[in-house]
Chain A
Amino acid sequence: MHELFTDWYLTADPNASRDVIVKRWTAVYAAARALTTETSLSLAAFVVRPSLEVPVWFQDLLKSHDEVMRTRNIEAELRVLAAITIRLLVEPQEEAEEGEDEEDEIDPGVAIVASFALLSGSFGMPVPGWLSEHLQALASFLSSEGAEKRNLSGARRLETVTPASVNESLVHLGKRIDLAMEVNTYLWWFVTGYSGTMAAKYSSIVPSVAALAMSKDLSLLMETTPPLPEIETLLLHAVSLLKDGETAGLSLKSHIGALGKSAEDLLEVIPEACRLLCPLGWAVGASVREKAWISEFEKTFGFKAAATFSSQQIALQYFRELSFIRSLSSTNG
C-alpha cells in the first residue's frame, strides 16, 4: 500500500476502519492498472468538474472490491479516490501486490495524458488541499519525464566493439543530435521574437494576445511530449519581456476578448474527450464562434470569467493544454 494512502483517504472518511482502507486501496490499485487513455480522461474530468457523474466503470470497480460500499451521496469520496487513482499512475508501487499479473504495468503514455488532463483541467477552479498535493506530484512527474526522455548525460564509451554496441552508440549519438536541434529551435524562437502563427513580431502584438501566440508557437515546435521542462521557463521568460508582461493580470474575459479576429489563428481543435479539461481552448473556440460564452463557461469550469490571471499564467496554461492535446495524439497514434 502506498505509504500516504491512508492520509489521502482520510479526507473522505476520517474514521475508516482498516478493512475499508484495505478494500479501497485494492480497488484504486486495480483501477490505476486498468486505466486507458479514454478512461483516464473521463476520470480526470470527474475529479475537476462537479457537475459530472462518476464514470460507471469506476464505481463498478470500487463496488466489486467492497460489495457493501454505499452507492449514493458519496460524490466527494469518489472524487478523492479518482484523484488517488491518477496519482498512482505516476507513483507506481515497486512491489507487486498479491495476485498481480506481471503484464499489468502502468502505460507511461496513459500516465502522461492523465497528468496533463488533471493539471490542465484544474486551472482556475478553487483547488482543495487534498487535490493540490496530487497536482504537485503530477507536475513533478511531467517535468522529470520530459527530462528523462531526453536524458543523455554521461559519455558513451564502448567497452567492447561489437555490432550491437556500435549500433547502440549510434542511436545514442542520434538522440544527442536531436536534442541539440530541439534546443536550438527553441532558442532561435526566443531570439527572433517572431510569431509564426500570427506572422508578426510579438512586440507588435497586444501583450495578452502575444502570450497566447507564444504558447501556440512553442507547442508547434514541440516534437516530443512532455516538453523539456526548461521550455516552460523559457516561455515564462519570453512573456515577462513583453510590454506589460509582468502586470498583475487581466480578467480571463479580457484576455479572450482581446483576441478578436486573432482567435481563429490561435484556435486549436480540441478533441471531444478533452473539452471539459481545456478551459482556455474552450474559451478561445467560443470566441471564434462569436458566441456569448461567459455564462456557460462559468457553469462548466467552476470559476468566474472575471477572475484575473497574469499573462504568464495564461501562457503556461494554454501551452499545457496544447501539450496535452499533442500527447493525446501521439498516444492514440
Chain B
Amino acid sequence: MAEEESFHKLLSANALTASEVNRVTARDETIVVLLAGPVGSGKTTILISLYELFNQGPVAGQLFGGSDTLIGFEQICHPGRVASGLSIPETTRTSRTVGAEFLHLRVSDASGDVPNTTSLLVSDVTGEAFTEARDVTDPTIVSREMWRRADVICLLMNGENLASRTNRQAEKNEARLLLRAACESNFVTERCRLIVVTTKWDTVVTQEAQAFCEECDQSLRSQFSVKFKTVTSHQIAARPTSARVPYAYGVPRLMLDWITRPPSLPVIARPSSKSVGPGVLAKAFWTSEESVLEGRFDVI
C-alpha cells in the first residue's frame, strides 16, 4: 500500500480576498480601510510608499509586525523599482474585474512599553464600488459585509486635478458623488470614520490652488460630518515628482490616523427622568456642566 503523503497548506501571501480576511480579523484587533478615489488619484501608490517606508524602519513610531500579504505588496511595488527595468516608476492599475482585495500590515508601538498591536487591512476601491453599493442590494466589488466592517473610508482627491482650473470642479464633484453614494447605500455604519486625503500635494503649488483645496476639504467635511463618526483631512505626496517635499510626504501621519482610535472616555449615564433622591440637583448639575462632561466622559 502506498504511503499516504501529508501536505501542509502554506499561505500564499497574495492579497486577501474578502472571504479570506477573517484569517486576520479573528486573530488581531483589526482596522479595515477602504481607500477610495478615481483612477490615478494615487491609492495604490500610498500602499507602495507605506511598504517601502517600513522596509527602512519604524514609521510614525510604529514597528512593522509582519504581513500575511508580503507577495501582494511585492507585486504592487515591483513596477516602481529599478529591478523592473522601467525608466520611470509606475504603479499597476488595480483590476476592476475582481472583487476587492486586501493588503495586510501588522504594526505595533515602537516604544514597547505598552503592548499595542494592530492589524491593518487596506483595499483600494474605485468609484464603481460605491455606485454599485448604492444601486445593488448585494454588491460584489466590495461585499455588503465588508462595507459594514469598514472602520475607515479614506477618500482621495487628486491634488494635481484640484490645482488645475480646468479639472478641479470635476474632481470635487466626483469626490462628493462617491461619498453620497456611500451614504445612500446604507451599508456604512455610524462607527465608520472618514478621512479626506488630497494626494500629489507637491503639485499644489500656488496659494490659489491651496485655497481651493482647503475650501473643497471644508465643503466635504461640513456636508458629510454627520454621516461619519469623525472626519479628518490630510495632504500627502506619496511619490512626489519634485523636491519640494520628501518621499512619502504625509503618509506616516495618514497611517497613524488609520490606526488611532478616538481617546477612550469613561462612560457615564445621565440621571433618568425618573430620578429619585437628589435627582433634581443632579439634573441641574448636568445642565450646567454638560459641555465639560461631554469632553471628558462618554455620556449616554
Contacts and interface: CB of A to CB of B under 8 A. Distances in A.
A66 interface: no
B115 A302 contact: yes
A312 interface: yes
A122 interface: yes
A299 B274 contact: no
A50 interface: yes
Nearest to A314: B266
Interface stretch (B40-48, B215-223, B279-287): B279-287
A10 B272 contact: no
Interface stretch (B18-26, B69-77, B171-179, B194-202): B18-26
Nearest to B285: A237
Contacts of A7: 148
Contacts of B25: 11-14, 76-77
Interface stretch (B52-60, B81-89, B245-253, B291-299): B291-299
A288 interface: no
Interface string B24-54: 0111111000000000000000000000000
Q: What range describes how many residues of A lie at the interface?
A: 35 or more
Interface stretch (A91-99, A137-145, A156-164, A193-201): A137-145
A61 interface: no
A150 interface: yes
A16 B268 CA distance: 33
B268 A139 contact: yes
What is the interface of chain B mostly: helix, strand, loop, or mixed?
loop
B146 A140 contact: no
B18 A233 contact: no
B149 A139 contact: no
B177 to A, nearest CB: 26
A124 interface: yes
A132 interface: yes
Contacts of A298: 113-114
Contact of B293 (A12, A15, A151, A236): A236
A244 interface: no
A126 B298 contact: no
17 contacts: A50-B117, A76-B27, A129-B151, A132-B264, A139-B268, A144-B269, A144-B272, A147-B275, A183-B276, A183-B277, A183-B278, A187-B278, A229-B275, A236-B285, A240-B289, A313-B265, A316-B297
Interface of A: 7, 10-16, 50-51, 70, 73-77, 119, 122-129, 132, 135-136, 138-140, 142-144, 147, 150-153, 179, 182-183, 186-187, 228-230, 232-234, 236-237, 240, 246, 295, 298-299, 302-304, 310, 312-313, 316-317, 320
Given A143-B272, A186-B277, 9 more contacts: A122-B264, A123-B266, A126-B263, A135-B298, A144-B269, A147-B274, A147-B275, A150-B276, A230-B278
Q: Which 3 pairs of residues, A with B, have the shortest CB-CB distance?
A: A143-B269, A127-B264, A183-B277
Interface of B: 18-19, 21-23, 25-30, 113-117, 143, 145-146, 148-149, 151, 191, 229, 261, 263-269, 271-272, 274-279, 281-282, 285-286, 289, 292-293, 296-298, 300
